[in-house]
Amino acid sequence: MEIVIYIYNGMTMLDAIGPYEILRNLRGVNIKFVAKKKEEITADSQFVHLNAKYEIDEIQKADILLIPGSTVSFVREMKDKRVLNWIKKINETTLKTVTVCTGSIILSATELLQGKKATSHWKPINMLSQFGAIPTRERIVEDGKFISSAGVSAGIDMALYLASILKGEKDAKAAQLIIEYDPKPMFQSGNYSTAESDIIEQAEKILKKDAIKNLSLWEMIKSYNVLKDMK
């Protein structure tokens, strides 16, 4: 089974690596990290790096296509016609096309999600509607062959769900045990609907600080009203 993870500069590394740690422990899978060109990909933190051994022109099909998100660089990806056309081409061959965080917004820009429910990070989720998708504030949303997951850590849960579909519950549980994924968060502020207003405000300030590190993308993202109350 071929699993292709699309990676790009400015992506949130856990969006890709979280699902990877689950999926790599399944029997009979081959995972490829694919980018626009073979190079070292830098995370949105500017600290973590990941090597892309394949470029998109080399990949013609996949059983699973996974698209991670980012703080702000997803805006560049959703405007790149080469990337969008490649996603549409690969999607024609997939059993499932899945996203983490704002990866769903990149996917929605292909118009493949028109009329379909999808989730994303809590801050830019409404941007999905600009491309005809139906924003749905849930941790994992499945609509047809598409599975989207909310912000960053939700990618691990999505990968477990995907693993159970692909290989069965027993294999998914074994993969969960291998990484000892047994979350017991100290605080209950990980969901937008239950987080206190002052915590949301503080999180928004941090997101803004991260986003404006790339001023060109920051100007683009403002034009989409994604972070409208971070001006």
Residues annotated catalytic, as ranges: 101
How far lies 116's CA from each of 19, 132, 133, 226, in Å? 23, 8, 5, 20
Structure tokens of 17?
A: 């690596």
CA 111 – CA 42 distance, rounded (Å): 27
Phi, psi for residue 199 in degrees, rounded to 5: -70, -40
**Helix H segments across the chain?**
13-23, 74-78, 81-91, 103-108, 154-167, 169-178, 197-211, 215-223
Phi, psi for residue 126 in degrees, rounded to 5: -70, -15
Count the neighbouring beta carbons within 10 Å of the beta carbon of residue 170. 9
Buried b (16+ CB within 10 A) or exposed e, 137-154: eebbbbeeebbbbbbbbb
Count the neighbouring beta carbons within 10 Å of the beta carbon of residue 126. 14
CB 160 within 8 A of CB 176: yes
What is the length of the chain?
231
